Structure 1
């Protein structure tokens, strides 16, 4: 375009940016929509849905999850992250609706100066998707929804995918408030045994190797009331604790084993090489399905460790008692593929 009065001019992108007050990225998405179907700029919620109050919290979260899922499918940087983690598994991505928050959610919202734009932002802030400053809470993150057996969304987990982050940046994010829900709950009723990981990334590492009776805590101290309820509901009799083989993971595993025994559940410890977690192990194995099957087969019973914890709680500790040897010492690491490193 060119204005002969003020001599302003430029491309069609410049025109859309100037006339609609959009960024270059937003303008490009708008023009894509003119050429055809573009989910990236379709309204997240129609104005009449807001006016009639026909969309609730679950409906709103479901649409956010669908948008993030579509974004991941078309985002090279997110695909590259999954490949580095060896989680580029089409069934995993589809079944669990993995997504990517790439800072474009606002493109699907009316401008904030309008009533509908202000209202939808208020609702998204209420569920924790947007922060008070209007930015996406999980921006720059792989997004893993935690869904119930009926599809309801209890939690969203975000893992920052960039390696170029300041030390102060939080890499693991959740929706504000207490944790709710149990990941992969729908699959846990098929067996009386389950694998319990420290993180969702680790649980997905087991899942892609064919170990489908797996779930995750919210960190080493993140076994919640919802977890215990699911254990009872599905009559779980045996839990294989697959926490990291480090000090925090081992100490938490012993305490959890004691709690499991008190509930009548048999605890076993899945032992990784020293200092490793499930995803690092996945990234190093030439034949991960076989390697993870062996891990499960060699899981170490923890009844004795749990009994030790129960005894320590009842007996005063002597002033000069030597520390007992850990019952969780890792076995020698199995052979790994040279020069394959998990980032």
Structure 2
């Protein structure tokens, strides 16, 4: 088996001021985690990491894929998306300023395609994994945030710096 990318998440509190909670090892191939979902579904939940994607998968959402880190979206990802069956993407990256900036950047890149973009808003700045671990019924809670996802305008240019 050839490994194309690896991802790790610290499960204990930071040990030093500069410890990283998320670690991504990228090799030559970028692609998506669970890339086959892009060619099986017209609606896709796109996450920033495989752990996030697996959180959705465990609740029955198999139409989920991930990139390796919220800033890991490349021209290769764009090309794969444009050739896929996907016509609606739910971005489930999280709501930190850098994550939101990246969602808007990707939405801008997709503006000329026929792919609609929505933003999943998790409460209190949580990501999907942390959100699902704080609620008593993760399936119901994830379903609710998906249903309430914010539709982004077709053209996300204008005053926003992408």
Report the TM-score range of the alignment, normalised by the length of the smaller protein.
0.7 to 0.9
User: 1:311 corresponds to which residue?
Assistant: 158
C-alpha spacing 1:180/1:169, structure 2 compared with 1 (3 Å): same
User: 1:218 corresponds to which residue?
Assistant: 68
Per the TM alignment, residue 161 of structure 1 is displaced from its structure 2 partner at its CA by: 4.0
Structure-1-length-normalised TM-score: 0.42
> Relative to total residues, which structure has the larger strand share, 1 or 2?
2
C-alpha separation in 2, matches of 1:243 and 1:273: 12
Native 8 Å contact 1:182 1:226 kept in 2: no
Which of residues 24, 35, 52 is equivalent to 1:185? 35
The gaps in structure 2 that reach 5 residues or longer are none
1:299 is the counterpart of 2:149: yes
Per the TM alignment, residue 162 of structure 1 is displaced from its structure 2 partner at its CA by: 4.3
C-alpha spacing 1:171/1:225, structure 2 compared with 1 (3 Å): same
1:85-143 deviation per Cα after TM superposition (whole angstroms, max 9, x unaligned):
xxxxxxxxxxxxxxxxxxxxxxxxxxxxxxxxxxxxxxxxxxxxxxxxxxxxxxxxxxx
Which of residues 112, 117, 120 is equivalent to 1:270? 120
Which of residues 272, 275, 279 is equivalent to 2:129? 279
1:297-321 deviation per Cα after TM superposition (whole angstroms, max 9, x unaligned):
2222101xx53x42338xxx9xxxx
Cα RMSD, aligned residues only: 2.4
Structure-2-length-normalised TM-score: 0.84
Mapping of residues 23-62 of structure 1, within 5 Å: 62=1
Native 8 Å contact 2:71 2:102 kept in 1: yes
User: 1:139 corresponds to which residue?
Assistant: none
Per the TM alignment, residue 291 of structure 1 is displaced from its structure 2 partner at its CA by: 1.4
Mapping of residues 58-69 of structure 1, within 5 Å: 62=1
C-alpha spacing 1:283/1:233, structure 2 compared with 1 (3 Å): same
User: 1:239 corresponds to which residue?
Assistant: 89
Per the TM alignment, residue 277 of structure 1 is displaced from its structure 2 partner at its CA by: 1.0
C-alpha spacing 1:252/1:285, structure 2 compared with 1 (3 Å): same
C-alpha spacing 1:197/1:164, structure 2 compared with 1 (3 Å): closer
The gaps in structure 1 that reach 5 residues or longer are 1-61, 63-151, 318-343
Native 8 Å contact 2:14 2:21 kept in 1: no
Equivalent pairs counted in the alignment come to 161
C-alpha spacing 1:178/1:172, structure 2 compared with 1 (3 Å): farther
C-alpha spacing 1:163/1:295, structure 2 compared with 1 (3 Å): same
1:68-95 deviation per Cα after TM superposition (whole angstroms, max 9, x unaligned):
xxxxxxxxxxxxxxxxxxxxxxxxxxxx
> Relative to total residues, which structure has the larger helix share, 1 or 2?
1
User: 1:199 corresponds to which residue?
Assistant: 49
